A and B are shown apart, each in its own frame.
Chain A
């Protein structure tokens, strides 16, 4: 299941969708551009496209910097985005992330749980690794990917979502949304997001 929807406030203010992602070769990936950047969707989309063919994150950033040089301005405007992805081996689902969002967990009894990944006010953007310390008030020693393993014996499916998912919680449609996730009803979830668009203020991308 892959869902990528622009947020209501992005439409209201004429800001592009800054989320992106894909499911490709058994990898589920979502990225969420920082809204403080002028066009963070540019770096986010370039990253995603290159990540389909290359799994070394630093190589990907270097390739992007061949076009958008790594000046502090460019990094701020184009390269600040959360990265979350799920791979799997024989025994585990492996979630790696740098930044904030949600991990969606489905157990074999079909129950769904969400793990919120929250860096607080300052999400960890991998691009900080390419900035001189003097430009950073946080993460001056760099940032790295975190990894969590979810055993397949316990979990039926693991997915990731950008933080736009937060707008489902405590709403009338929360249980409907979760039920549709359980049933893997991609189109029905897209319609629900369209229908309840005013609540989905931020972009939302789900790879599950």
Chain B
């Protein structure tokens, strides 16, 4: 049977993400950023857009930009896990609505990250990864269970992927600990703190790209 995704000689995973040929490096740092788009973030839409722009600018202006691929995953009522793309392709749009499918984004995010990571390693790439979640609250609408999400975070930790959670307003700190994220950053619920959080995330991502070995702890660089 003809698989139309093979027409260009590329695997499906390369179409969804970045093809190996497009990565002008033998080392890559995969950054998963899960962003809470639930209704409770409604008061911060324009601040979030600014923060995402700052995040993108900071990565774009770093020397490590050629080694970084970012996947943006939005979660609200539903989830949308994007592929790993160059920083220049990072989407900074933002809207908020509905509930918080936190567990679902963790489960699918883990699966897609591990698949792409394995694919790249099989192509001879040196791969590190960071799995970061930004959320202001606990899960309210996932089809996956807490146990599923915990298993996914454990898998990420076992694979020596840096797991990081930014708890906006402190409402998600407890669940981040329960899920066993190795790095948890608590920030207050204000526009300034939001900016601070993404500023910290970009610095931490850049620092992690400089290191040869992935740091599982002490990820956040203030």
Q: A residues touching B (Cβ–Cβ < 8 Å)?
A: 187-188, 190-197
Contact = CB atoms under 8 A, between A and B. Distances in A.
Contacts of A195: 122-124
24 contacts: A187-B23, A187-B24, A187-B25, A187-B26, A188-B20, A188-B21, A190-B26, A190-B124, A191-B20, A191-B26, A191-B123, A191-B124, A191-B125, A192-B124, A193-B124, A194-B26, A194-B124, A194-B125, A194-B126, A195-B122, A195-B123, A195-B124, A196-B124, A197-B124
A193 B26 CA distance: 10
A191 B124 CA distance: 4
A150 B42 CA distance: 70
Nearest to B26: A190
A72 to B, nearest CB: 37
The 8 closest A-B pairs by CB, nearest first: A195-B124, A191-B124, A194-B124, A190-B26, A191-B26, A187-B24, A191-B123, A187-B26
Interface string B51-73: 00000000000000000000000
Nearest to A196: B124
Nearest to B20: A191
Contacts of B24: 187
Interface in B14-54: 20-21, 23-26
Contacts of B123: 191, 195
A193 B125 CA distance: 10
A194 B28 CA distance: 14
Contacts of B20: 188, 191
Contacts of A192: 124
A187 B123 CA distance: 11
Nearest to A194: B124
Nearest to B125: A191
Given A191-B123, A194-B124, 20 more contacts: A187-B23, A187-B25, A187-B26, A188-B20, A188-B21, A190-B26, A190-B124, A191-B20, A191-B26, A191-B124, A191-B125, A192-B124, A193-B124, A194-B26, A194-B125, A194-B126, A195-B122, A195-B123, A196-B124, A197-B124
